[in-house]
Amino acid sequence: MEDNAKLIEKLLERVVEYGKTSAELLKLKALDKTSDVFSSLALRSVAFILFASFMLFLNLGLAFWLGDITGKAYYGFFLIGGFYILIAIVITLFMRKWIIKITRNYIIKHLLK
């Protein structure tokens, strides 16, 4: 009878130890995923800011250049704005499902990694 009590006590100790180890492993996995997401986000944010700055100055230069060609500065800005609204319409009409699919697959891939 005493042997059974000792066996049950050892079993309970191992169960508690297993639970603690599983919880620690879960914390470490969550930390790994979180650090992966944030490091990827930080890198992409810096790249986006640099690209957005480049595009801003490129568009300003093009708008002023087109304004000089057309004779009025604001015509250049209208032309650049019209070009971007045309691109937005084309992307919305023809590439919406493709962009959603790529974005969804990217997110799922990173979450399951």
Q: What is the pLDDT of residues 5-52, one digit of tens each?
A: 788 888 888 988 999 999 999 998 888 888 877 887 888 899 999 999
Q: What is the pLDDT of residues 88-99, one digit of tens each?
A: 999 989 888 898
Match 């493709």 to its residue by tokens. Answer: 98
pTM of the model: 0.59
**Shortest CA distance to 81 belongs to which of 67, 93, 94, 92?**
67
> Domain boundaries in the chain?
2-112
Q: Is the dihedral of CA 84, 90, 96, 101 positive or negative?
A: negative
The CA distances from residue 107 to 16, 39, 95, 100, in Å, are: 35, 15, 18, 11
